Amino acid sequence: MASDAFLHAGSRRKVAVAGLVSGVVAGIVFAMFEMIVAALQGMGFVPPLRMIAAIVLGEKTMDASFSLASAIAAGAIVHMILSAVYGVVLALLVAAWPLLKKPLPLVIAATLYGFALWVVNFFVIALVAFPWFGMADDLVQFVAHTFAFGSVLGVLLVWQLPRSVTR
């Protein structure tokens, strides 16, 4: 279980590292889910990474003539950075809120956090800045963000956070 040590300045770094690692691992699960579903839908494995890469490289990344290697590299880098940041944010929130230090509330909160990321990213940010995300299947994105990222992040934090404090 998490302890009050989360609130001490010396533990914030350990909590942030646990959030970073958990966010990256949950991000990998998320990306694998997205890529497998895209392949099962007949689009191949790459479209999710092209969409993410387009955040930094522009909509031209969505075109099949754009370098596949560049799209995969940029998509993976952007996705992992966002996943790490989202993981750190949630870990620090958990550290600050005692109720979330128990496993079940933490996993529920992380699942809701994943849902909130989906809503904000797809129905606020993407509408304004990244319209190509409108092509994405809403059900797939809901499941990916809420469960493949949010729930997985919660389970990883249940496992990681106590260790980050006791080391």
Query: CA triplet 126, 129, 133: central angle to 5 degrees?
Result: 35
| Backbone φ and ψ of 126, nearest 5° | -65, -35
Query: pLDDT tens digits for 49-97?
Result: 999 999 999 999 999 999 999 999 999 999 999 999 999 999 999 998 8
- Domain ranges for the chain, please list them: 4-166
Q: Is the Cβ–Cβ distance between 19 and 95 less than 8 Å?
A: no
- Rounded mean pLDDT of 130-159? 97
Alpha helices by DSSP H, listed for the chain, are: 9-40, 47-57, 68-96, 103-120, 126-129, 138-143, 152-166
pLDDT score of 8: 64
Which of 66, 47, 30, 51 is CA-nearest to residue 133?
A: 51
